[in-house]
Amino acid sequence: MVSKITAIIMAIVSLVSSMGGAIPSKQTLYTDVAYGTHTRQVMDVCFPEKYEENMGVVLYIHGGGWVSGDKKSFLAKAKNISKSANCIGVTMNYRYASANVHCSDILKDIDSALAKVKLMAETRGINCTKVMLAGHSAGGHLALLYAYAKKTSAPITPAAVVSYSGPTDLSSKNFIERNSLNGADTMRLLVSTLVGVKLTKENFNRNKAAILNYSPIKYVSSGCVPTVVVQGRQDTIVSVNDTRIFVNALKTKGVTYRYFEMPNSGHALNQDPLYTDASENVILEYAKKYLK
């Protein structure tokens, strides 16, 4: 099992972009802030130069197949949006999925991280009531799932969400059987680890309900927060067809959304600079609009 998950890690890491950018100055950055006792329960928190009584938060969640990756991949973006939208920018680590840590536990990590950010803000006289979550790949999945399923119970209320290459239906045949990560058996093992249910080719269909509980598409409703979806048409891990089904569900339910489908890009979203610029402008627009 360990060797197969290691293979997944190496495959994903080779495909995920740095998600970087220019780093602004005159901000206060706190690195490796602990929000729990596990070594992975740390985050970087960036406060803008000018505080306001009410400020929003943008929380970035890294990718890596739920079993790898690091918050540093989003540090530049967190600092940029903190300055551009005058908000608190955060990039977090979370406990990797394992035999003892499942998706529900990772969602609790997001709870704890947001609670810690809220406390840090309160000690500076800042009231945080809204958060925009954003993530790449596994982080995109977690951002969507949290923003939709935890909207009413989160320490800071989700107000918008951004998914870069995030899987939206973990039970999809496209995701399980038609990905480039060493075949269906490897992906079933990965999803098994994430949801805490031993999945095989023979019992997968019987366990679809359990898998759907951790799939953002299950929670699409008219009450979902405004959503930005960025997807590469050439992605061989997350199928563009699955993403189109998800986006159509948003449209059908009347959810406010923007969809950017990059024609030349794969999972790393790094081959369409014009689309990248356009999507980042909209993400900044969402931060300014929905975090106020």
Global confidence as pTM: 0.91
Q: How confident is the model at residue 146 (pLDDT cuts 50, 70, 90)?
A: very high
Q: Report which of residues 128 and 23 the model is more confident about.
A: 128
Instruction: Report the pLDDT averaged over residues 3-23.
Output: 46
Mean per-residue pLDDT of the chain: 92
* Overall number of domains in the chain: 1
Contact 6, 50 (CB under 8 A): no
Contact 67, 97 (CB under 8 A): yes
CATH of the domain at 116: 3.40.50.1820
Q: Report which of residues 178 and 106 the model is more confident about.
A: 106
pLDDT for the residue numbered 179: 79
User: What does the pLDDT look like over 90-131, one tens digit per residue?
Assistant: 999 999 999 999 999 999 999 999 999 999 999 999 999 999
pLDDT for the residue numbered 1: 53
Contact 56, 159 (CB under 8 A): yes
- DSSP structural state of residue 231: E
Per-residue pLDDT at 23 exceeds 60: no
Q: Which domain holds residue 33?
A: 2-290
Q: Which residues pair with 160 in a beta bridge?
A: 132
Q: How confident is the model at residue 3 (pLDDT cuts 50, 70, 90)?
A: low
pLDDT for the residue numbered 180: 75
Task: Give the pair of three-digit tokens for residue 193.
Answer: 């680890």
Q: Report which of residues 260 and 18 the model is more confident about.
A: 260
pLDDT for the residue numbered 78: 98
pLDDT for the residue numbered 7: 52
Measured CA distances, 226 to 42, 49, 94, 102 (Å): 27, 27, 24, 27
Beta strands in the chain (DSSP E): 28-34, 42-47, 57-61, 88-92, 130-136, 157-164, 227-232, 257-262
The side-by-side arrangement of strands in the sheet containing 57-61 is 28-34, 42-47, 88-92, 57-61, 130-136, 157-164, 227-232, 257-262
Per-residue pLDDT at 56 exceeds 50: yes
User: What does the pLDDT look like over 232-288, one tens digit per residue?
Assistant: 999 999 999 999 999 999 999 999 999 999 999 999 999 999 999 999 999 999 999
pLDDT for the residue numbered 221: 98
Q: How far apart are CA 83 and CA 51, in angstroms?
A: 11
Q: Which residues pair with 54 in a beta bridge?
A: 127
Instruction: Report the pLDDT averaged over residues 53-59.
Output: 97
pLDDT for the residue numbered 17: 39
pLDDT for the residue numbered 57: 98
